[in-house]
């Protein structure tokens, strides 16, 4: 196993986020400022761009710290608002591109910040930096690491928000079942362990807890991005641009997935919720869960989870109705695929439910067909 792989498996995404924050403080001090909130968002993009342009680690650190100093100086000369008057990512990129050329022309020693290079902090997120720099241009490296910083900043803020709201179990189950498997490429922690640790009655309740954290995380990403553009109408175009740049595999894909959630959370929160439940069960979206020869065990889990969503859905009538129909899809799918009843409901009750499901145009046609087939298989 490579050193890089060993390192990447040693850190959870939340630890990367904290390391970026901590290194941001070091970088802010190196730039002569203490504005860590600005620096934490900016420095990975600047640093990664410099590395992709062929700078050594030390040169990248010098260019990053001094460009942030220049950024903050320009900011103070304006109205006092961070990046006042423009699209922040583009402003920072233009500044970085020009500043790196000046650094190379004037000589590194003449502009070196008066602190030692905080290698320990940057070492911690080296796997993230390396993962973002695979098969990319300097421009794309900048945009990828800007996107990564936004996601990881939102992750920290969501964690703090969950703890403040008394949702510590929700957050930790979300990390164990969704984030760590994606970022660390390790198996999900078993519910048999998590339920006991966090005092949750069953996996169905835990799945709905996961949807609540996912929604908070997605909205937090939108909130961070809104602070970096001119107005709210630019949030979706910016999200789509970052998703385009972050199209890929491995670390790039792990960072991109929460951006997809953020694109959907305002427009289709019910589908977002049912998809994360399906992913937790079988690492598939909800349609694939039911169409790709699901096991009876996964259908029982889906039935139980969507039943709880039907009862406890946080996003009102639409989400609860979606949960109700998918509860029925799981029952119908078990009848069609396995010839088994996983529900104690009477035939009359199932006929009414499957009939309503068959006529629900907001469900994909492929799922409605399952209801049609199940209706034919019910005893007369």
Is the per-residue pLDDT at 239 higher than 90? yes
Q: Which two tokens stand for residue 87?
A: 């699209």
pLDDT (tens digit per residue) in 319-353 = 888 899 999 999 999 999 999 999 999 999 999 99
Question: What is the overall mean pLDDT for the chain?
Answer: 87
DSSP code for 176: I
Higher pLDDT, 184 or 151: 151
What is the structure's pLDDT at 80?
Answer: 44
Mean pLDDT of 143-163: 96
Is the per-residue pLDDT at 126 higher than 90? no
- Give burial (CB, 10 Å; 0-12/13-18/19+) of 12: middle
Is the per-residue pLDDT at 314 higher than 80? no
Yes or no: say if 168 and 70 are a contact pair by the CB < 8 Å rule: no
What is the structure's pLDDT at 88?
Answer: 87
What is the structure's pLDDT at 365?
Answer: 92
Higher pLDDT, 73 or 360: 360
Q: Which two tokens stand for residue 12?
A: 């959870």
Strand spans (E) along 114-255: none
Is the per-residue pLDDT at 316 higher than 70? no
Instruction: State how far the Cα of 314 lies from the Cα of 248, in Å rounded to an integer.
Output: 32
What is the structure's pLDDT at 31?
Answer: 76
Q: Give the predicted TM-score (pTM) of the model.
A: 0.90
Alpha carbons within 13 angstroms on the beta-carbon side of residue 143 total: 17
Residue percentage of the chain with pLDDT more than 90:
59
Is the per-residue pLDDT at 276 higher than 60? yes
- Mapped onto helix, strand or coil, the DSSP state of residue 95 is helix
Is the per-residue pLDDT at 308 higher than 60? yes
What is the structure's pLDDT at 118?
Answer: 55
């Amino acid at each position: 196993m490579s050193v890089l792989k060993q390192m990447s498996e040693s850190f959870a995404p939340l630890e990367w986020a904290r390391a970026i924050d901590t290194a941001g403080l070091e970088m802010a001090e190196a730039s002569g400022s203490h504005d860590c909130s600005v620096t934490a968002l900016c420095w990975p993009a600047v640093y990664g761009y410099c590395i992709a342009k062929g700078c050594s680690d030390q040169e990248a650190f010098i260019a990053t710290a001094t460009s942030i100093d220049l950024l903050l100086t320009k900011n103070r000369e304006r109205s006092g608002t961070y990046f006042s008057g423009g699209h922040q990512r583009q402003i920072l990129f233009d500044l970085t591109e020009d500043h790196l050329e000046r650094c190379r022309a004037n000589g590194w020693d003449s502009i070196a910040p008066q602190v030692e290079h905080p290698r320990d902090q940057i070492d911690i997120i080296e796997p993230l930096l390396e993962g973002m720099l695979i098969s990319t241009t300097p421009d794309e490296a900048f945009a990828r690491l800007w996107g990564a910083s936004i996601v990881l900043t939102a992750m920290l803020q969501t964690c703090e928000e969950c703890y403040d709201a008394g949702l510590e179990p929700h957050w930790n189950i979300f990390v164990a079942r969704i984030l760590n498997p994606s970022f660390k490429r390790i198996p999900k922690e078993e519910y048999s362990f998590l339920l006991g640790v966090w005092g949750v009655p069953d996996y169905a309740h835990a799945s709905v807890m996961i949807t609540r954290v996912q929604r908070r995380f997605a909205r937090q990403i939108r909130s961070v991005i809104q602070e970096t553009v001119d107005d709210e109408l630019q949030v979706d175009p910016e999200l789509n641009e970052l998703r385009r740049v972050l199209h890929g595999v491995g670390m790039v894909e792990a960072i991109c997935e929460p951006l997809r959630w953020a694109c959907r959370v305002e427009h289709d929160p019910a589908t977002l919720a049912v998809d994360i439940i399906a992913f937790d069960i079988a690492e598939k979206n909800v349609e694939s869960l039911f169409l790709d020869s699901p096991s009876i065990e996964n259908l029982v889990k889906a039935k139980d989870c969507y039943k709880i969503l039907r009862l406890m859905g946080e996003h009102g009538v639409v989400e609860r109705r979606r949960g109700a129909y998918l509860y029925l899809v799981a029952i119908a799918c078990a009848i069609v695929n396995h010839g088994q009843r996983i529900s104690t409901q009477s035939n009359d009750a199932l006929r009414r439910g499957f009939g309503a499901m068959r006529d629900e145009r907001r469900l994909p046609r492929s799922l409605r067909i399952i209801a049609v087939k199940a209706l034919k298989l019910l005893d007369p």
